[in-house]
């Protein structure tokens, strides 16, 4: 695989109103316009990859649930995450693992 350059120049034509908004946002963040745009683009690319991973993981979990007939009841999941939140806030021990149950 060829080496990826550390940086690669590009040209981006922005509508004037958008550029003004971006400049204001960058200023409020204490960043240059360039740094703000690079950060914003990197964040957007990361969110896209996270959405793709979430969709793939969800599809795989649904396939396993259909194949095995096991899963997690919504009320159990809500209780688990409530306990996890309390644990992360230092208010309780970690929650017990949530074993799948026969569904249907």
Judge contact between 69 and 51, C-beta under 8 A.
no
**In a domain? residue 51:** yes
Q: Is the dihedral of CA 79, 49, 27, 35 positive or negative?
A: positive
What does the mean pLDDT of the chain come to?
A: 95
Q: Domain containing 32: what range?
A: 16-68
Residue 102 makes CB contacts below 8 A (sequence gap 6+) with: 69, 70
Share of the chain above pLDDT 70, in %: 100
Count of C-beta atoms within a 10 Å radius of residue 97: 6
Same domain (yes/no): 23, 62: yes
**In a domain? residue 8:** no
pTM of the predicted model as reported, rounded to 2 decimal places: 0.69
Q: How many domains does the chain have?
A: 2
Same domain (yes/no): 44, 78: no
**In a domain? residue 93:** yes
Report, as an integer, the average pLDDT of 60-89: 95
Q: What local confidence, expressed as pLDDT, does residue 35 receive?
A: 97
Q: What local confidence, expressed as pLDDT, does residue 30 receive?
A: 98
**In a domain? residue 7:** no
Q: What local confidence, expressed as pLDDT, does residue 5 receive?
A: 85
Pairing status of strand 101-102 against strand 70-71: antiparallel
pLDDT at 1 over 80: no
Q: How many residues in total does the chain contain?
A: 104
């Amino acid at each position: 695989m060829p080496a990826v350059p550390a940086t690669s120049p590009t040209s981006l034509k922005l509508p004037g109103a958008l550029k003004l908004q971006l400049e204001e946002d960058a200023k409020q963040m204490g960043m240059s316009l360039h740094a703000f745009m690079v950060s914003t683009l990197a964040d957007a690319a990361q969110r896209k990859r996270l959405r793709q991973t979430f969709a793939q993981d969800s599809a795989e979990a649904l396939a396993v649930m259909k194949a095995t007939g096991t899963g997690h009841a919504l009320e159990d999941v809500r209780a688990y995450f409530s306990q996890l939140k309390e644990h992360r806030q230092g208010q309780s021990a970690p929650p017990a693992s949530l074993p799948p149950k026969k569904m249907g």
